[in-house]
Amino acid sequence: MIDGTDDLKVDRDGAVVTVTINRPEVMNAMTSQMFVDFGRICRSVSEDDAIRVLVITGAGGNFCSGADVSGQVDRISGETPAVPLRNMRHIKEAAMALHDVQHPVVAKVRGVAAGAGLNVALGCDLVYAADTARFSEIFARRGLSLDFGGSWLLPRWIGLHRAKELALLAEVIDATEADRIGLVNRVLPEGELDAHVDDVVSRIASGPPLALSMSKALLNSGAASSMGQALEAEGLAQSVNFATSDLREAGLAWIEKREADFKGH
């Protein structure tokens, strides 16, 4: 059992868990406590070997407008004590928890994905967006620099120069432009987004869980590895796969001309 909250709804359907950011009245802006809870939920998902896919989405037609900075006005006026380091540590822990989820993670984006909200999406393994979605690394407009892993994630998704353009100009881009520069995997008409994500999730959930988790880990670490280190890591992963019943099941399914029934061991 993975406990959600009023602001972070958790729904489980077999091997698929969906987390819905649920503050539609503020375009799903996330409070400090929500980042704490988000990290806890991600860690719980990762620790559950029966889960095969995590989906992250937003309620009320938006994904997430970033961190809730409504308290910033109070800090500027001096009416409340400033504790930015504590809040940033919550954001750091949440970003790492998302990054470390062993299972594939899919972002389903409608409406606004801005600031930390955009980087939550980019922290997922796959990002699918409705054609009405809008994206922004809006930090500079708020007198802030990138957070929630944006400095690490953006260059890996779209390259260094385009990452700098998004960060320095803080422009809002539409789904077509996000697709063109590689910020998302695919853009779908609004009415087709749910069905497409459901299909992707179903295909991932039917795959070999251990092999997929190792492929994810290999890709995440590959950019920081030499070719030799990557090949050695691949060899170790394949050695694990060769000892699994899933490998034998894949062979039998191919011989018997049927779909494989992978168990994750």
Cα 221 from Cα 214, distance rounded (Å): 11
Q: What is the pLDDT of residue 133?
A: 98
Residue 87 has pLDDT above 70, yes or no: yes
Q: Give residue 224's pLDDT.
A: 86
**pLDDT at residue 44 above 60?**
yes
Predicted pLDDT of residue 82: 58
pLDDT at 184: 98
Q: Residue 89 pLDDT > 60, yes or no?
A: yes
Q: For residue 248, give every residue at least 6 positions away whose Cβ sits within 8 Å of its Cβ, in sequence order, or none.
A: none
- Is 83's pLDDT higher than 60? yes
Chain mean pLDDT for the chain: 94
**Position 85 pLDDT exceeds 90:** no
Beta strands in the chain (DSSP E): 8-13, 16-21, 53-58, 105-109, 112-114, 126-130, 134-136, 173-174, 186-188
Whether residue 65 contacts residue 34, with contact meaning beta carbons closer than 8 Å, is answered with: no
**Range name among 75-84, 100-109, 193-202 with the lowest pLDDT average:** 75-84
Asked if 137 and 122 count as a contact pair (C-beta separation under 8 A), the reply is: no
pLDDT by residue (tens digit) across 196-252?
Answer: 999 999 999 999 999 999 999 999 998 889 999 999 999 999 999 999 999 999 999
> Where is average pLDDT lowest: 34-38, 70-74, 152-156, 245-249?
70-74
- At 77 the pLDDT is 54
CB 141 within 8 A of CB 168: no
Q: Is residue 60 within 8 Å of residue 29, measured between CB atoms?
A: no
